[in-house]
Amino acid sequence: MGKPPIPDGPTSITASWLKQALSAGVASDLPALKEVDVEVVGAGVGLMGEVLRCRLTYEDDAPSAPDSVIVKLPSPHPKNLKMSKLLQLYKREYSFYIRLAPHVPIHVAALYYGDFEEKTHRFVLVLEDMRGMETGNRIEGATERQAKVAIRAIARLHGSYWNKVDRPPVAGLHYSLHPKYRPLVQLAYLRCLVPALKNFGDHFSEDMRRLAEAYGPRIADHMADVAAQPLTFGHGDFLLDNMFFGPDGSDDFAVIDWQVSGISSGLYDVASFMSDSVSTETRRKIERETLREYHDVLCSAGVKEFSFEACWRLYRQNMLGRLLAPIFVCGGLDLSNERGRALAENGLRKTLAAVEDLEAGEFLPTPRPLYTPANAFSILSRCAYKLYKTVR
Q: Where are the alpha helices (DSSP H) in the chain?
A: 15-24, 78-86, 89-95, 144-161, 182-200, 206-215, 219-227, 266-276, 280-300, 308-321, 324-332, 338-357, 373-391
Find, among 205, 124, 141, 87, the residue nearest to 347 by Cα: 141
Instruction: Count how many Cα atoms sit within 13 Å of the Cα of residue 388 in the half-sphere of its side chain.
Output: 18
* CATH classification at residue 114: 3.30.200.20
- 245-250: Cβ within 8 A, 24+ apart: 245/133, 245/134, 245/135, 245/136, 245/146, 245/149, 246/133, 246/134, 247/134, 248/145
Share of the chain above pLDDT 70, in %: 97
- Residue 71 pLDDT exceeds 80: yes
State whether 273 and 334 are in the same domain: yes
pLDDT-derived band at 258 (thresholds 50, 70, 90) equals: very high
Instruction: Give residues with Cβ within 8 angstroms of 116, minimum separation 6.
Output: 90, 91, 94, 122, 123
Number of domains in the chain: 2
pLDDT of res. 346: 95
Examine residue 5 and state whether it is found in any structural domain, yes or no: no
Last residue of a domain, one of 80, 95, 128: 128
- Type of residue numbered 124: V
The pLDDT value recorded for residue 322 is 98
Q: What is the pLDDT of residue 103?
A: 94
Shared-domain flag, residues 175 and 112: no
Look at 195 and 77; give whichever has higher pLDDT. Answer: 195
Please indicate whether residue 276 or residue 379 has the higher confidence score (pLDDT).
276
Do 309 and 211 belong to one domain? yes
Largest CA distance in the chain: 73
Q: Are residues 119 and 186 in the same domain?
A: no
* The total number of residues written for the chain in this structure: 392
For residue 251, the model assigns a pLDDT of 87
Q: Mark whether 89 and 190 lie in a shared domain.
A: no
Reported as a single tens digit per residue, the pLDDT across 6-56 is 999 999 999 999 999 998 887 667 788 999 999 998 654 556 889 999 999
What is the tens place of the pLDDT at every residue in 348-367?
999 999 999 999 999 999 88
Residues 96, 170 contacting (CB under 8 angstroms): no
* CATH code for position 279: 3.90.1200.10
User: b or e along 195-209 (b: 16 or more beta carbons within 10 Å of the residue's beta carbon)?
Assistant: ebbeebeebbeeebe
Mean per-residue pLDDT over the chain, rounded: 92
Do 358 and 245 lie in one domain? The reply is yes
Instruction: Kindly state whether residues 256 and 362 are assigned to the same domain.
Output: yes
- What pTM does this model have? 0.91
**Percentage of residues in the chain having pLDDT higher than 90:** 75
Q: What are the tens digits of pLDDT across the range 330-353?
A: 998 888 788 889 999 999 999 999
User: Is there a single domain that holds both residue 359 and residue 332?
Assistant: yes
- Residue 371 — pLDDT band, cuts 50, 70, 90? low
Last residue in a domain, options 128, 152, 182: 128
Same domain flag for 223 and 326: yes
Residue 283 has pLDDT above 50, yes or no: yes
Residues 120 and 158 in one domain: no
The answer to the question of residue 209 being in a domain is yes
Q: 250 pLDDT band (50/70/90 cuts)?
A: confident
> pLDDT digit string (tens) for 111-155?
999 999 999 999 999 999 998 899 988 999 999 999 999 999 999
Alpha-carbon dihedral of residues 328, 334, 338, 340, nearest 10 degrees? -40
Last residue of a domain, one of 93, 128, 163: 128
Does residue 293 lie in a domain region? Answer: yes
Rounded mean pLDDT of 181-199? 95
pLDDT of residue 26: 76
CB distance 361 to 323 below 8 Å: no
Q: How far apart are CA 390 and CA 392, in angstroms?
A: 6
Same domain, 113 and 192: no
Distance, in Å, from the CA atom of 388 to the CA atom of 380, rounded to the nearest integer, reads 12
Q: Do the domain assignments include residue 329?
A: yes
Residue 1 lies in a domain: no
User: Does residue 184 form part of some domain?
Assistant: yes
Q: Is residue 290 part of a domain?
A: yes
pLDDT of res. 377: 80
By residue range, what is the domain housing residue 302? Answer: 144-391
How far is C-alpha 383 from the geometric centre of its chain's CA atoms?
A: 30
Position 139 in a domain: no
76 & 223 share domain = no
